[in-house]
Amino acid sequence: MVKNLLATAALLLTISFSFSQNCVPDGQYTTSGIHPDSATNFAPAYAGTPYSQLITVIIPQDTTPPFPPIPIPWDSTVMVSMSGLPPGFTYACWNNSTSPNRCSWRGNTTGCAIITGNPTINDTGTYNLTVVTNNYLGGSTNPIGFTITYYKIKVNGPASVPSVNGVSFFVSQNVPNPANTSTEFDFISDANTTVKLKIYNIVGDVIYSYDIKASQGTNHFSLSTKTFPNGIYLCAFTKGDNTITKRMVVSH
What is the DSSP annotation of 207-244? EEEEEEEE-SEEEEEEEE-TTSPSEEEEEEEEETTEEE
What is the residue extent of each domain of the chain? 2-156, 161-250
CATH of 2-156 given 2.60.40.10, 3.40.50.300, 3.30.70.250, 3.40.50.1820: 2.60.40.10
Model-wide pTM > 0.95: no
Asked if 170 and 245 touch (Cβ cutoff 8 Å), the reply is no
- Band of pLDDT at residue 209, cut at 50, 70 and 90: very high
Question: Tell me, what's the pLDDT at 206?
Answer: 93
Superfamily name with CATH number, domain 161-250 = Macroglobulin (MG2) domain (2.60.40.1930)
For residue 203, give the DSSP letter: T
pLDDT in tens, 124-135: 889 999 888 888
Report whether pLDDT(122) > 80. yes
Sorted by sequence, the CB contacts under 8 Å of residue 21 that are 6+ apart come out as 92, 94, 114, 176
Domains 2-156 and 161-250 share a fold: yes
For residue 198, with 0-12 CB atoms within 10 Å meaning exposed, 13-18 middle and 19 or more buried, which class applies? middle
Report whether pLDDT(159) > 70. no
Asked if 151 and 158 touch (Cβ cutoff 8 Å), the reply is no
- Band of pLDDT at residue 78, cut at 50, 70 and 90: confident
